[in-house]
Chain A
Amino acid sequence: MSVPDDGKEALSDLIARCIKGDQSAYAALYDQYAAGLYRLAYSILLDVKDAEDVLQEAFIYAFRNLHRYDAGRGEFRTWLYMITVSRCRNMRRRKLLPSIDLGTLLSIGQDPPGPPHERPEAVLARHTVQEALQEALATLSPRLREAVALRYGHGLTYREMAVILDCPQKTAESRVRLAHGALEKALGASGEFLLEEMWSFS
């Protein structure tokens, strides 16, 4: 995904204003990227609290180092994703053992926003599928989860993924393929049934 020239100019202007200390520019940058980065952190860590912590750490680092961002070396979004993935890895190291917030897993009190005007059966099916998918994602190794999150959650190309994950492009490709196999196994027969049921409603 490439940013149009107008967007690039607006972005570089925004970054320049941030470096000068303009608070509204910081807020504008945050509004533009925070939700995406949070989703990325959540898909990798599968924990609301950890994802929020990572989001905060990533933005603090990015805002303090805006002068180091070089537009010639890559997109701003890629730079932010790199920082976020790196912070997610740090968080994982800190925690050592993976833990999943039960409330999050069961999505108590927070339904993910689905497509508008969905039938109730479809909403229920989607809810069940989201749960099954999260459980399946939790069985993946962190590297495979990163690959799935970037590829499907953010629609990145393998080249972009290779930059963010700091690995060759072929490795990024093979991680996605391995993740497919692992997810298929984790979802198993019940998962397959759920997916088919959900797609029958849509």
Chain B
Amino acid sequence: MAKHVSHLLAAYVQDELPLHLRRRVATHLLTCESCCLALDRERTLARTLKGEMPILGAPRPEQVTRLLPGILAEVIPPAGAERGFAACRFPGLGMVMLVSLALAILVPAMVLPRSIAVSAPDQPAPYQIAATPTLSMTDSPQRVLPVSPTVVAAQRDIATEPAMNPSPAPIVWLPPGQ
């Protein structure tokens, strides 16, 4: 028996098959009982869909009529409500206000001097780091590096240099009467 044609039956019922496929289906239907039954089912379904779908969900007249005022209210705004008083009297007022606001923000930002924020304190100079003695934790015999006279002089300067920003004197709280 030739291959079943059930996949072509929907198109066959709706007369949408090209001629060669239509002939193939018709020939097969002469000998295949199951495809004939499937064709009957397909015809019944197609007839039902054609008959029932056009009335499925058909609205009652008042159902659609009552929606119209809401739609018109959205589409056609009431006369006079379209533009406010200010917009009628001063048509460019909105644009002028917008430009003024933009200028008020931008001009000070461009004209006023910029402030520079310093977030970290001054770092120690490299020679100050080099002069700091480092402890060695290894087992190897400690080797003392010769200290150059320049470093010694620098260390002396640091020790004697007055503090750049001396700390304020500590406030000592004394109980009343002392």
Question: Which residues of A come within 8 Å of B, CB atoms?
Answer: 21, 23, 26-27, 30, 34-35, 38-39, 42-43, 46, 48, 51-52, 55-56, 59-60, 63-64, 110, 112-114, 126, 129-130, 133-134, 137, 148-149, 152-155, 173, 176-177, 180-181, 183-184, 187, 192, 195-196, 198-199
Contacts and interface: CB of A to CB of B under 8 A. Distances in A.
Nearest to B46: A180
Interface of B: 10-11, 16, 41-42, 44-50, 52-60, 63-64, 67-68, 70-72, 74-76
A104 to B, nearest CB: 8
B63 A199 contact: no
In order of increasing CB-CB distance, the 9 nearest A-B pairs are: A42-B57, A152-B53, A153-B53, A152-B49, A180-B10, A63-B75, A34-B64, A177-B10, A38-B59
Contacts, number: 112
A154 B55 CA distance: 10
Given A23-B72, A112-B58, A183 B53 contact: no
A43 B10 contact: no
A60 B75 contact: yes
Nearest to B54: A153
A188 B63 CA distance: 33
B109 to A, nearest CB: 40
A43 B59 CA distance: 11
Most buried by A among B42, B56, B60: B56
B41 A148 contact: no
| Overall SS of chain A's interface | helix
B102 to A, nearest CB: 31
A5 B11 CA distance: 33
B53 A149 contact: yes
Nearest to B49: A152
Most buried by B among A56, A64, A154: A56
B56 A181 contact: no
Contacts of B71: 26, 30, 56, 59-60, 63
Contacts of B57: 38-39, 42-43, 46, 48, 51, 112
Given A152-B50, A195-B45, 16 more contacts: A38-B63, A39-B54, A39-B58, A129-B48, A148-B53, A152-B53, A153-B54, A153-B56, A154-B54, A180-B10, A180-B42, A180-B45, A180-B46, A195-B44, A196-B44, A198-B48
Contacts of B53: 43, 133, 148-149, 152-153
A134 B42 CA distance: 18
Contacts of A173: 11, 16
